[in-house]
Every structure is written in structure tokens, then in C-alpha cells.
Amino acid sequence: MASSGASFKSGGARRKATKKGLIFTVMIVGASGCGKSTFINTLCENPVILRKDHADAEKAAQLKTVGLAPTTVELDEDGLKLSLTVVDTPGFGDNINNEPAFEDILGYIEHQYEEILAQESRIKRNPRFQDNRVHVLLYFIQPSGHSLREMDIEFMRLLGARVNVIPVIGKADSMTPQELNAFKKRIMEDISHYKIPIYDFPYDEEEDDEETIEENNELRGLLPFSVIGSEDEVVINGRRVRCRQYPWGVVEVDNSKHCDFSKLRYMLLSSHLHDLKDITHDVLYETWRTEKLSKEGHQDDDSGEEQ
Amino acid sequence: MAPPAAPGPVSVGIANLPNQRHKIVSRKGASYNIMVVGESGLGKTTFINTLFSALMRDYKRPEQRFAKQLDRTVQIDVVRADIEEKGFNVRLSVIDTPGFGDYANNTDCWVPIVQFLDEQHQHILNHETVPNRKTDDLRVHACLYFIQPTGHTLKPLDIEVMKHLCTRVNLIPVIAKADTITPADMLAFKDRIRDCISTHNIQVFTPAVHSEDEDATRRNTSILAAMPFSVIASENDVQVNGQTVRGRQYLWGVAEVENEAHCDFKKLRNLLIRTHMHDLITTTHDHHYETHRVAKLTASGRSDDDPALQARRGFEAKMKEEEAELRKKFTEQVRLEENRFRQWEQKLISERDRLNEDLDKQHSLVKQLEEELEEIIAARKR
């Protein structure tokens, strides 16, 4: 799967894309308090997700169902319009028993696929049909410093078969650089040990050029991405910086030495956007479609007989 | 006769009691049991090692994680150590709970912990009546509950577990990895946690505030205001302004463990060791153990009273019951009789009325006849 930036579209295609704008859907999953909402707001550079009201102490003990709340933002990346839909999942991982939540999220993703399948099978298709398929799922891992938890392993394994999963370490400012490196290494070991399917920047040795291969390798080495989010801006040395202020220092969001946020953003919204969309359509959707149709008893018989 | 003059104040030596106690306690040493509860990765092991400045527990070895058990239970691990400072000995036990809250389905994960606590109380209770009473005292004196630094509020698991623990042990909630939260967020977070704790009636350990010493009172108030304590733990020494301190070295600065502006580690350490260790030990015995004891003994039917007194009370109650019974029967009878009399009275009255009517009728008949007779006589005369 060749990966390329948005600049590959030449001439007519580019003009069309510029006018209509690209559509991209990101789903963010992770336990409460991992920094998901702050990340979304930092990514979109706008307070898209409002702060939850936690003042009600009574509600804290109640069972929470996973909410699936899509919000759409219009962004402008290098002159290209991008219609970014972010699906937040508040309530995931908050309960004492979290297994039911997995099915809810998987159901949402498969539902989008079902809609596309239904749309494709219509005699008269709707040209203005909106494609709501989730192109990438960012899974937030808690910065425990140890390794993946049972919930992380089970969830990523379940969903990796249906959507591009990219593991992300939230609140990365709670770990020192050595701890962070060791943590990342252990997570990748866990991922290969438990054979968890994730999007690891695949490239074709023969087809792609040197630059692409190098870029993908570099990004693969950064997995899982460490992010820090902040909506507060402070003026430091004359420039406005997004950061978190502690009594012992200031953490900058856009500083690539502090965290991988800027690289993740560039990857998501510019360089690998098309790759993610293509894989979703050509591989994941097709796999789902095959499984679903063969379950229903269709066969690829040329005689067209149904069982 | 005037009473003999009272003797003047004489120093008998009673004020020397604390000194004697001090000598006895120094010789005996103390046994101190701390339990840490919380999800893995919150810094419990690091905290314990930092607290006692000694490597109490080994860190989990990451190579072993693939071999770990998949039966999804919570274990109870006890680590013992003997610590000595200036000639004073402490038999320290740290009880860890690996596996707590780590799974996708954490229902009932507090049950092994609660069972452990109850078992310790029960063990001491059973030993009260045994001839040889010396036994290992593993009753937990302080239970530190590690809260994840989400910045939001308590999770349902936290609330449920704390509710179960607070009635059995001195519960001290602690915010782990406090270097993830900015100071302003930390204040708001603590407020919300305190709110949650009071809404759900969770009894956390609150040290008594007032004491004769001004300093102590001030210290206690500051300790109380800082609950739940935020902690940063580290065993590594780093250089800050030429000094060696324990802290965590980040690219953007050093978070110091013993700096009051960075976290409440010092306050918590004082609470656990320097100032309130004895308080924790005695509260465990006087309050939690007693609660357990009372519950167990009343459940088995025992009570505070003398058996004879109880029998008499039972007898009295029975008597009262019978009396009430008889009284009711009596009033019932009386009512029936009254009813009967009333009915009889009614009958007589109606009888009398009837007879009176008859009489009146006869009278009027007689009068009529008399009148007729007079008419006839008057008619004859003419």
C-alpha cells in the first residue's frame, strides 16, 4: 500500500478534493482520565469536546454506558479542506465490569459497514450518501509504566480486525524519558506476543521509494505514540506555546522532544490519511463484507444459486 | 471541732507513668502493619520503598508477565521486615494486593481483601480464650487506597471498595503519581474526591485535631486539609541546585518527593510514622477490632446481661402479655352484657308505650259511650 502525502493528487483530482474536502473519521477510545478529551481539543485546536461536569458525587458511583458521540470539525491542512469527524467514547473502562463496552464499540463500527453494504446493494444509490466508516481508532493506554493490561489486550485484539488501531500513551508527562522508552518497548513486545493487529505503517519493499520506507520505519519505531494534551496557551520567550505548567517546569505539547503529538498529528491528517482510508476500504471493509455475506449463505457461484 | 488540715500537694510519682511506658514500649518494640490497595502501575511498590527508605519489595519483573496466572484473582502478599531506628524496633509488615482492579471485569475483586481483614480480627478474637494468647498480630493498622490521577473524580470501583474497607480498617486515600496533575487541577480534584467521600458516607481515617500543643494542633489541621494526600514516589537521587534530593528527572524539570509544594509525601509520612503511628495502632484495636468483636458475638446470640436477670425479664414480659389478654377479654364481656341490657330496656319501653296507647284508646271509648248515654238520657227527658 503506497503511502503518500496529500500532494500526490495532481490536476483535476486535486481541484475536486479542494472543493469537496476530504472526509476522515477518527475514533478515540480509552479509560477515563487518560487525556482523550484534551487530546481531541488539542488536535482540532478548538474546544470541540466540552469539559465533563464531575461535580455530581452521586453520579460517580453509577453504572455508565459507553456514549458514542461524533463531532465534526472543518480543518484546513496545507490548503486542503478536511472534514474531520471525531468520535469520542466517554464512559469506556469506567465501570467495575467493562466487558459489555467492547461490544458496543464494535457494534458501532460494524454498523457503519452495514450501512455502506446496504447502500451498495441498492438499485438506485444515493449520491449524497455520507461515508461514516471509522478510518482509524486511537486507543489510549494508561501510563502505568508496566505493560499492557488485560482490558487493553482484549479490546485491541477484538477491534484490530475491523479497524486500523493505533496505540497511544496518554498523559505521557507522568514518565521520565527512560521509563517512557522501556514502557514503549514492553508494549510492542506485548503486541507481538499476543498477536494484536495494529496499524504499523506497512510499506512495500519493492514498490515504494526510499523516502517512504524510511519515514514509515521511523514512525513504526515511535509506536506507541506518547501524547500530552493541553488547551492552555502561555507566552514563553515571546511566542505562544501550548503547554502544561508545573511547579518544577513547563511541558510543551508541540515540542517533539517532550512528546510525539506533532508527529502523530502530521501522520494522521497529512501524510498517512489516504493510506488509512485505503486500508479501511480495501482491506478491512472487504474482509468484513466477505465474512458477513458468507455467513448469510451467499456463495460466489457463477450459477447464482443461493443456499 | 475543726476537721484536720488537708495535707499539702506531695509529688507521689504518678507523673512518671509516661516515662515507664516509654521504657516498656522501647523494649517491646511495636508491630506495624500497612496495606496498600490499588491498580497496578500506580506506584505502590515505589511508595513503600520510598517511605521506609529501604528496598522493602522487589519490583514486578516484566519478563515474567507472560507467565502470569489467568485465573483473574486478587492475591494477598505479605512482606515482613524489622526496622530499627535509634534503638527502637518495629516489626513492619507490608501487605500488597496484586491483581486488584487489573482485569476487564473487576466484580467482587475486593472480596479477598475484605476476607483477609476479617480473618485477622477473627484470629485475635479466637485467641482471646485460648490458654496461650501470644500470637502473630497481623491486623492491618493503616490501609492506603491508591486513587488513579484521572483528574475527574472517583471511579465506581473506588467508591465500592472504599465503602467495604472503611468499616474494617483505618482507610487513608492517596492520590498516586501526583506529578501528572497541575496544582490548580489538583485542588479541584481533591475537592471532588472529598465531596464524593462525604456523599457516599465513607469513613476515612481522620486524626484528632486538637491537642494541648499549639504546634501539634496546627500540624493536624494542615494534615486534615491536605487529605486525600497526593504523592510522588521515587528512589532515585537527582541533583537540584547542587543538592541531592529524591525526585523524578524530567526533560523539563525535577519533581521532588520531599518538596511540600510538589506533593504531600512528607505529610503522609509524618502521619503514618512520626505523629500518628500509635493513634493508628490503637484505633485499630479500640475501634475496628471492637466493632468486629461486637458484631460477631451478638450474631452468635450472646448479650451483655446476667442470665438470671434475662430470665426474669422474660418472665415479666410474659406476665404483662397475659394481663393485657385478660383485660381485653373482660372488656369484651362487659360490652356484650351492656348491649343485652340496652336491648331489654328498649323492649320494655316499647311495651309500656303500647299498653299506654291501649289504655288511652279504652279511655276514649269509655268517654264516647258516656257521652252517648248522656245524650240518650237527655233525649228521653224531653
Q: Tell me the per-residue pLDDT of A250-305, one tens digit each, with 9 for 90 and over.
A: 888 888 888 888 888 888 888 888 888 888 888 888 888 888 888 877 655 544 44
Q: Do B152 and A144 touch (CB under 8 A)?
A: no
Assess contact for B263 and B149: CB atoms under 8 A.
no
Query: Does a structural domain hold residue A304?
Result: no
Q: What CA–CA distance (Å, rounded) separates A124 from A121?
A: 9
Q: Does A246 touch chain B (CB under 8 A)?
A: yes
CA distance B162 to chain A (A): 12
Q: Bridge-partner residues for A25, per DSSP?
A: A85
Count of structural domains, chain A: 1
CA distance B65 to chain A (A): 8
Q: What CA–CA distance (Å, rounded) separates B98 from B39?
A: 8
A190 contact residues in B (CB cutoff 8 A): 65
Q: What is the pLDDT of residues B93-107, one digit of tens each?
A: 888 888 888 887 788
Task: Reply yes or no on whether the pLDDT at A114 is more than 50.
Answer: yes
Confidence of residue B253 (pLDDT cuts 50, 70, 90): confident
Q: What CA–CA distance (Å, rounded) separates B88 from B274?
A: 13
A141 contact residues in B (CB cutoff 8 A): none
pLDDT at A184 (0 to 100):
92
Give the CA distances from residue A125 to residues A114, A115, A129, in Å, rounded to whole numbers and listed in that order. Answer: 15, 12, 8
Q: Is pLDDT larger for residue B219 or for residue B295?
A: B295
CA distance B254 to chain A (A): 6
- Average the pLDDT over each of A6-15, A188-197, B297-306 and give the range with the smallest value: A6-15
B359 CB neighbour count, 10 Å cutoff: 10
Query: Does a structural domain hold residue A61?
Result: yes
Q: Does A295 touch chain B (CB under 8 A)?
A: no
pLDDT at B343 (0 to 100):
95
Among the listed residues B233, B239, B268, the one whose alpha carbon sits nearest the alpha carbon of residue B254: B239
Pull the grid cell for residue B36. Answer: 496498600
Among the listed residues A199, A195, A183, the one whose alpha carbon sits nearest the alpha carbon of residue A141: A183
CA closest to B68 among chain A residues: A150
Q: Do A57 and B105 touch (CB under 8 A)?
A: no
Mean pLDDT of A191-212: 82
Q: Which residues contact B81 (CB under 8 A, 6 or more apart)?
A: B52, B54, B56, B92, B93, B94
Best mutation target, A34, A59, A64, A96, to test chain B (most B CBs within 10 A): A96
CA closest to B178 among chain A residues: A174
Among the listed residues A137, A141, A146, the one whose alpha carbon sits nearest the alpha carbon of residue A226: A141
- Among A161-165, A213-217, B13-17, B348-352, the range with the most confident prediction by mean pLDDT is B348-352
Main-chain dihedrals φ then ψ at residue A288, nearest 5 degrees: -60, -45
Residue type, A161: A
Main-chain dihedrals φ then ψ at residue A109, nearest 5 degrees: -65, -45
Q: Which residues contact A113 (CB under 8 A, 6 or more apart)?
A: A133, A162, A285, A288, A289, A292
Average pLDDT of chain A is 80
**DSSP E strands, B104-217:** 142-147, 171-175
Q: Bridge-partner residues for A46, per DSSP?
A: none
Q: Do A54 and B152 touch (CB under 8 A)?
A: yes
Q: Find residues 68-97 of chain A whose CB sits inside 8 Å of chain B.
A: 94-97
Assess contact for A264 and A256: CB atoms under 8 A.
no
Q: Bridge-partner residues for A97, per DSSP?
A: B105
CATH number of the domain enclosing A151: 3.40.50.300
Task: Reply yes or no on whether the pLDDT at A4 is more than 70.
Answer: no
Assess contact for A250 and A5: CB atoms under 8 A.
no
Q: Do A60 and B262 touch (CB under 8 A)?
A: no
Query: Does a structural domain hold residue A5?
Result: no
Mean pLDDT of B268-282: 84
Mean pLDDT of B227-236: 87
Q: What CA–CA distance (Å, rounded) separates B258 from B235?
A: 12
CA distance B255 to chain A (A): 6
pTM of the model: 0.76
What angle is formed at CA B154 by the lines to CA B153 and CA B156, rounded to 5 degrees? Answer: 130
CA distance B252 to chain A (A): 5
A163 CB neighbour count, 10 Å cutoff: 28
Q: Do B248 and A173 touch (CB under 8 A)?
A: no
Best mutation target, A51, A52, A54, A151, to test chain B (most B CBs within 10 A): A54
CA distance B165 to chain A (A): 16
Question: Is beta strand B229-230 parallel, antiparallel or unpaired with respect to B88-96?
Answer: unpaired
**DSSP E strands, B74-226:** 77-85, 88-96, 142-147, 171-175
Q: Do A176 and B151 touch (CB under 8 A)?
A: no
Average pLDDT of chain B is 84
Say how many CB pairs under 8 Å bridge A and B. 134
pLDDT at A305 (0 to 100):
45
Assess contact for A135 and A25: CB atoms under 8 A.
yes
Task: Reply yes or no on whether the pLDDT at A12 is more than 60.
Answer: no
Strand order in the sheet with A233-236: A233-236, A239-246, A249-252
Confidence of residue B173 (pLDDT cuts 50, 70, 90): very high
Query: Does a structural domain hold residue A113?
Result: no
Q: Do A251 and B252 touch (CB under 8 A)?
A: yes
Q: Does A51 touch chain B (CB under 8 A)?
A: no
Q: Do A144 and B261 touch (CB under 8 A)?
A: no
Q: What is the pLDDT of residues B319-363, one digit of tens each?
A: 999 999 999 999 999 999 999 999 999 999 999 999 999 999 999
User: A184 lies in which domain range?
Assistant: 20-93+130-290
pLDDT at A50 (0 to 100):
67
Q: Does A154 touch chain B (CB under 8 A)?
A: yes
Peptide bond preceding B228 in cis form (omega within 30 of 0):
yes
- Give helix B290-299 / helix B111-127 axis angle, nearest 10°: 80
Confidence of residue B82 (pLDDT cuts 50, 70, 90): confident
Confidence of residue B305 (pLDDT cuts 50, 70, 90): low
Task: Reply yes or no on whether the pLDDT at B366 is more than 80.
Answer: yes
Query: Where in chain B are the domains?
Result: 21-302, 324-382
Q: Do B148 and A149 touch (CB under 8 A)?
A: no
Q: Do A54 and B253 touch (CB under 8 A)?
A: no
Mean pLDDT of B127-155: 84
Element (H, E) at B226: helix B214-226
CA distance A257 to chain B (A): 8
Q: Do A58 and B107 touch (CB under 8 A)?
A: no
Query: Does a structural domain hold residue A9?
Result: no
CA closest to B147 among chain A residues: A33
What angle is formed at CA A101 by the lines to CA A98 and CA A106, rounded to 5 degrees? Answer: 140
Question: pLDDT > 90: what percent of chain B?
Answer: 22
Q: Does A62 touch chain B (CB under 8 A)?
A: yes
Question: Is beta strand A239-246 parallel, antiparallel or unpaired with respect to A233-236?
Answer: antiparallel
CA distance B59 to chain A (A): 10
Assess contact for B248 and B110: CB atoms under 8 A.
no
Fold of B21-302: Rossmann fold (3.40.50)
